[in-house]
Amino acid sequence: MSANQDGVDLLEVRGLTKTFGTLTACDHIDLNVAKGEIHALLGENGAGKSTLVKMLFGTLEPNSGEVFWNGQAVTISNPGFAKKLGIGMVFQHFSLFEALTAAENIALSLDDGSPISTIAAKARALSYSYGLPLDPQSLVGDLSVGERQRIEIIRCLLQTPQLIILDEPTSVLTPQEADKLFETLERLRSEGKSILYISHRLEEVKRICDRATVLRHGKVVGHCNPRKETAASLARMMVGNDVQAVVRAPVQGIETAQPLLEIRALSRRPATPFSIPLRNINLTVRAGEVIGIAGVAGNGQGEFFESVSGEVPQQDPASVRIRGKDAGGLSITGRRLMGAAFVPEERLGHGAAPRMKLSENLLLSRHATDGKVFVGAGGMVKSDATYAAAQRIIKAMDVRKSALDPEAAALSGGNLQKFIVGRELDRRPSVMVVNQPTWGVDAGAAAHIRQTLIELARSGSAVLVISQDLDELFEISDAIAVMHNGELSKPLPIAEATFEKIGMLMGGAEPGHAEHALETS
């Protein structure tokens, strides 16, 4: 079924294998991409998708296996050779240079030596012809994530590739921007180009892809036509078993519940020239509810989390209030002592110290709040107590690990995230603030984390979740606010929220205008 008219696939991969130490990231992968098709590479985080495409683009060297290009065996030893063959790549974590202009960034990946002004003119013309307008003179550091992706795509198209690899392209886009991208991809397909589309989002794969190859734990577990599958059947192939659906009981009388976390006129100047200022943010999270904050990455969510958690204290003590008391001037520990708990976005480095054991990481975050439990006479650490508490959390959150009390860095991303969330939940915090709770976490563990956050709220705590994953926010939130360019919209009750409305706000529709649009819609 994979052959096209002349019987030769554009790309054929046979038994490609890559190991890192004892981990087999890709295990005898077979893959065929025909001319003029959009081929999905589907799999959870850590299934080996990124490793596979890095080998196809020449940035990683396979241990074994063969690659055929138009039927010819090739060894792709570096990205330059991949480009020469006609393979273009749009990276998940962009490979752009912030301090350079868009045109300079594009020039760096073209080896034809033509002057920057020529390249800028070509890039501008191409970008308009594909409906992805681009100003070649703008500095990448000033651009939004969506605009940066345009540069990557235009840069890729200027090399006139036969095969374009896109690694999780929509994870940084608003729904409207994603629609625009799909139009571009369909146009490229109609021009006879092939696209290898990497994603874990089932709906979009069903929508635009002709065929799919599903990976799980580094192995190919199936090929299918995604249009003939359901989201549930695709998920089952990806995960290996059924994913528990998250249950969100309705919440009643929230208007009268006690406000536990209040943010009043929070502003912050940009810390670096490329960072986002916070502008007059107001938000109330009451006992019993989960509030979600949506937004395209890089619109001030990181700065907002730092300000709420106390990583960066505020000038005005009243700008952050926890359980009715001013907390704006306090440090993280001060805010924890008032009953708040925080889970930052970066697991290694912020959420946990990589080279320390789980029990030690537990002590690091809780020595102040639970000093009596974990620290004994003369400041001596009660290792029995920290060990027991760590084991309790490991059991409660079903953390899978290789040793009894391993180093944080030895855990997979998802398991470490479960431990970090569990460490905070274990205190029964009355205010819980989480940034990207399930980023890079497999579907089963993500569902578990989401369910525990809802249950914490329903037991009388206030939960604030910042996430780029709209599906996740719609699953767990009672109301969703949108952050755009350092401003926060009013929370929209979940019953009124739709992808379209949230997407409009994410794209920067004026809050007033958007509210008006909501009233009329």
Partner 1 sequence: MDITVNILLTIATAATPLLIAAIGELVVERSGVLNLGVEGMMIMGAVGGFGAGYLTGSPWIGLLAAIALGAVFSLLFAVMTLSLATNQVATGLSLTLLGLGLSGMMGTSFVGQPGARLPNLDIPGLTAIPVIGRLLFGQDPIFYISIALTAAVMWFLFKTRTGLTLRSIGDSHTSAHALGIQVIRYRYLAVIFGGACAGLAGGHLSLVYTPQWVENMTAGRGWIALALVVFASWRPWRVLAGAYIFGAVWIGQLHAQAFGIPVPSQLLSSLPYLATIVVLVLISRNKRLTMMNTPASLGQPFVPDR
Number of Cα atoms under 13 Å in the Cβ half of residue 37: 23
What would you measure as the largest C-alpha separation in the chain, in angstroms?
A: 80
- Residue 79 interacting with partner 1 (CB under 8 A): yes
- Report the C-alpha gap between 277 and 306 in whole angstroms: 12
Token pair 């398991």 in the structure block, residue:
415
- Residue 491 interacting with partner 1 (CB under 8 A): no
Facing residues of 223 across strands? 213
- Report the C-alpha gap between 91 and 196 in whole angstroms: 12
The one-letter code for the residue type at 212 is: A
- Residue 92 interacting with partner 1 (CB under 8 A): no
**Binding characters for partner 1, 263-292, by CB under 8 A (x = yes):** ---------xxx------------------
Closest CB to partner 1 among 135 and 326? Answer: 135
Q: Pick one of 35, 83, 418, 448: the residue that binds partner 1 (CB under 8 A).
A: 83
Q: What is the H or E stretch that residue 495 is in?
A: none
Among 384, 29, 508, CA closest to 221: 29
- Report the C-alpha gap between 266 and 310 in whole angstroms: 13
**Binding characters for partner 1, 496-515, by CB under 8 A (x = yes):** --------------------
Closest CB to partner 1 among 270 and 460? Answer: 270
- Residue 413 interacting with partner 1 (CB under 8 A): no
Shortest Å, Cβ 59 to partner 1: 6
- Report the C-alpha gap between 139 and 293 in whole angstroms: 28
Shortest Å, Cβ 112 to partner 1: 10
- Residue 179 interacting with partner 1 (CB under 8 A): no
**Binding characters for partner 1, 32-71, by CB under 8 A (x = yes):** --------------------------xxxx----------
Among 199, 211, 194, 210, CA closest to 85: 194
Site size toward partner 1 (CB under 8 A) is: 29
Task: List all residues 6 or more positions away from 97 whose beta carbon is below 8 Å from its beta carbon.
Answer: 104, 105, 108, 140
Angle between helix 358-366 and 413-425 (nearest 10): 40
- Residue 474 interacting with partner 1 (CB under 8 A): no
Q: Which stretch binds partner 1 (CB under 8 A): 109-117, 306-314, 402-410, 456-464?
A: 109-117
Q: Report CA dihedral (174, 175, 180, 183) to the nearest 10 degrees.
A: 150
Shortest Å, Cβ 163 to partner 1: 16
Q: Which stretch binds partner 1 (CB under 8 A): 97-105, 190-198, 239-247, 409-417?
A: 97-105
- Residue 378 interacting with partner 1 (CB under 8 A): no
Check residue 166 and report its DSSP letter. Answer: E
Sites for partner 1 among residues 11-30 (CB under 8 A): none
Shortest Å, Cβ 74 to partner 1: 16
3-class SS at 504? helix
β-bridge pairing 290-294 and 479-484: parallel
Q: Which stretch binds partner 1 (CB under 8 A): 2-10, 76-84, 249-257, 300-308?
A: 76-84
- Residue 440 interacting with partner 1 (CB under 8 A): no
- Report the C-alpha gap between 94 and 233 in whole angstroms: 31
Sites for partner 1 among residues 290-349 (CB under 8 A): none
Among 368, 365, 371, 372, CA closest to 393: 365
Shortest Å, Cβ 385 to partner 1: 38
Sites for partner 1 among residues 127-166 (CB under 8 A): 139, 141
Facing residues of 12 across strands? 32, 68
Closest CB to partner 1 among 104 and 455? Answer: 104
Q: Which stretch binds partner 1 (CB under 8 A): 31-39, 93-101, 204-212, 511-519?
A: 93-101
Closest CB to partner 1 among 82 and 408? Answer: 82
- Residue 113 interacting with partner 1 (CB under 8 A): yes
Q: Pick one of 108, 297, 318, 348: the residue that binds partner 1 (CB under 8 A).
A: 108
Closest CB to partner 1 among 253 and 273? Answer: 273
Sheet containing strand 259-268, strands side by side: 278-286, 259-268, 320-322, 325-326
Q: Pick one of 80, 133, 192, 512: the residue that binds partner 1 (CB under 8 A).
A: 80
Closest CB to partner 1 among 10 and 96? Answer: 96
Residue-wise DSSP of 350-406: TTB-TTSBHHHHHHHHHTTTTHHHHB-GGG-B-HHHHHHHHHHHHHHHT---SSSS-
Residue 319, token pair as written in the block: 């700008």
Q: Which stretch binds partner 1 (CB under 8 A): 103-111, 215-223, 320-328, 382-390?
A: 103-111
- Residue 384 interacting with partner 1 (CB under 8 A): no
The one-letter code for the residue type at 432 is: M
Binding site for partner 1 (CB under 8 A): 58-61, 78-80, 82-83, 91, 94-100, 104-105, 107-109, 113, 116, 139, 141, 272-274
